[in-house]
Amino acid sequence: MSERSFVSGSIGQLLVAIADGVRDAQEALSAAPPVDAFGRPTPSYHLPQLDFELRVEIETRSTGSGRAMMLVMPASSSTSSVSSVVSGRLVAVPPGQGLPLPVVELTAQRRTARQHELAVVAANSAGELLAGATVEINIDLEMSRRLSEVEGVRITGAGSTRIAQPVLVTDEAGRAATLLDIDARLPAQAVLVLTAEAGSAVARLSVTAGKPA
């Protein structure tokens, strides 16, 4: 192995190690729960770039025959070193290679004691409404159970609660709607967490069961 290839390989390994650290940090930030104990959205964080500076010492060791080698120190050898600074910037490439990403919005309006109208709007990060987008709506039972416990209510499931059309296709305005019918046996303080997914985009919303009619 030549000195040049050894040095470039060592610096390459350092850069890969830094990139791995940035990725691990972003994954830890992304693992934060999307909502707090009261169903409110929590802040999300993104590391767009990292400026770094490495102070490295390149050491060459030569044998008695005059052949230069790296990390080799025979009995009769002389050693010299060169200090250098390597600086640069690691820039995160946005998901989708910089193309606009899907964005979905989910809202609910109570129509009767135990019925909500659910409305979704599908767009992208460039602000363009998405016609013909498929949006899937589900009930997050685990999160519903946890948030209901915060309200002092224990539930094991959603009972006969149902979403009339769990899979929606948006119209020309990027909108679609369906109905949520809540089981009358659920306590009024029970909290249901709904998710709307359109591709990689996810929106969450919590609603209370409310008093039966």
Beta-carbon count within 10 A of 186 CB: 24
Q: Say how far apart CA 106 and CA 5 lie, in whole Å.
A: 54
Report how far residue 144's alpha carbon sits from residue 151's, in angstroms, rounded to the nearest whole number: 11
- Distance separating alpha carbons of residues 90 and 8, to the nearest angstrom: 17
* Residue 60 confidence (pLDDT): 61
**pTM, entire model:** 0.59
> CB of 188 within 8 A of CB of 199?
no
Domains of the chain and any CATH numbers: 3-91 (no CATH), 102-208 (2.60.40.10)
- Which pLDDT score is estimated for 2? 47
Q: Are 159 and 183 in contact (CB under 8 A)?
A: yes
CB under 8 Å, gap of 24 or more: what pairs does 187-191 form?
A: 187/148, 187/153, 187/155, 188/212, 189/148, 189/151, 189/152, 189/153, 190/144, 190/148, 190/151, 190/153, 190/155, 191/39, 191/144, 191/147, 191/148, 191/150, 191/151, 191/153
Distance between CA atoms of residues 129 and 146, nearest Å = 34
What pLDDT is recorded for position 193? Answer: 95
* % of the chain exceeding 70 in pLDDT: 75
Evaluate if residue 74 carries a pLDDT over 50: no
Whether the predicted pLDDT of 186 surpasses 80 = yes
209 vs 90: which has the higher pLDDT: 209
